[in-house]
Every structure is written in structure tokens, then in C-alpha cells.
Amino acid sequence: MKFGIKLMVCAILFITLALSGCQKTYYAVWEKMGKEKRHLLKEEVEDARTDQQEASEQFQSTLEKIKQIYGFEGGELEKFYKTLSSDYEACEERAAAVSERIEKVERIASDLFQEWEQEIGMITNTRMQAQSKTALRETQKRYTRLHQSMSKAEASMKPVLKNLNDYVLYMKHNLNARAIGALKREVGSIETEVESLITDMNRSIKEAEQFLKDF
């Protein structure tokens, strides 16, 4: 039942945005359903954390597949290539999901902070205004740390995807014993990059958890 309601809401939002093409309309629809920008930001950060976890797991899984070539002597090399090619595509999809989610977080955070700043100016009580300014600055600092860690993790995916793509394309045109030897020599560099990526991902995930805890 909940899934059906959520699906209906998403459909309404999609139609509304398609007709208006306006971010303000997007927020207005959500506000009518009781969700302000801070609620939307929290949800997007939660989803960003999930997307990063899933991307990290996919890259780790792909690395494990690549490392299998150490014990590979030949035989079903075509099957190995198809499996690795599929894993690479999965990594691309996960990376794209992370990037799209970060864009959403950036957009909503920017709009939230702008709105917050404007509404602080509407508060006439000086003590309350000062407290609200302090809360805004502290939230912005926490968000800056989160954004920096997410951006670093996102950037770490690019060289890994590039090397994985090289690996897959090389295999596509060199399905022979000589190619196996060449690929084995490249596994170490890919492994180092993936481990660095996972470290950045884990750091970003922790920042997201801390942000959600304090937000």
C-alpha cells in the first residue's frame, strides 16, 4: 500500500514538473504534502549514503572478479570477458546514480540555505535571529564537510572506471593466452585504485551519517 502511494506521488511530481519545468513547483508540491526543504535534503542525503554503499559493493565485487584472472590459464576466456563486461556496466550505472544523487543534494542544499538566510532577515526578535544565524552557519559547515567527502568519492570513481573500461576493451579484442599475461600485470594498479575508492566512499558514508545525526 505504501509503495503504491509513493508511486502515485512520484507520478504526480513527474507530471507537474514536466508541465512546469520549475523547481519552485517541485517544492510547492512537496510542501502541500508536509515536507519542507530540510526534510527533502535529509532524504536525499540518506539516499546518497545508500547509493555510495551500493557503488562501493559493486566496485569491490568487480575487483574480486578481475583478481580471478590470476589463476586463469585459458579455456572459457570469452565467458570471463562477458562477465567482466557486465560488471563494468554495473559499475557505470552505480557511479552515475551516485553523481545524480550528489547533484540533487547540492541543489536542495543550496535552495535550503538561501531560503533560510532570507527568512532569518524576517525575524524581528534579535535574540532568536542570532540563534538562527548560528544554527545556519553550523549546518553549512557540516554540509561543507559532507559535500567535500562526497565529491572526493565521486572523483575517485572516474580513474577506476577508465581503467576498467581499458581492461574490458582489451579483453574484447585479445581473447588469448598472451592477453591473460598482460592483464595480470594490470590487476595490481586496479586493485590499488579500487581500495582507495572504497576508502573515500566509506569516509563519505560516515560523513553522511554524522550529518544526518546532527541535522
Nearest partner of 94 among 118, 60, 70, judged by Cα:
60
Render pLDDT for 29-40 as a digit per residue (tens, 0 to 9).
888 888 999 999
Residue ranges of E strands in the chain? none
Query: Which amino acid, residue 149?
Result: S
pTM: 0.84
Q: pLDDT of 151-171, one tens digit each? A: 999 999 999 999 999 989 988
Which pLDDT band holds residue 109 (cuts at 50, 70, 90)? Answer: very high
For the chain, domain boundaries:
1-35, 44-214
Res 185: pLDDT: 84
Q: Is the pLDDT of residue 68 over 70?
A: yes
pLDDT for 19 equals 42
Q: Output 185 or 119, whichever has higher pLDDT.
A: 119
Asked if 141 and 207 touch (Cβ cutoff 8 Å), the reply is no
**pLDDT for the residue 4:** 55
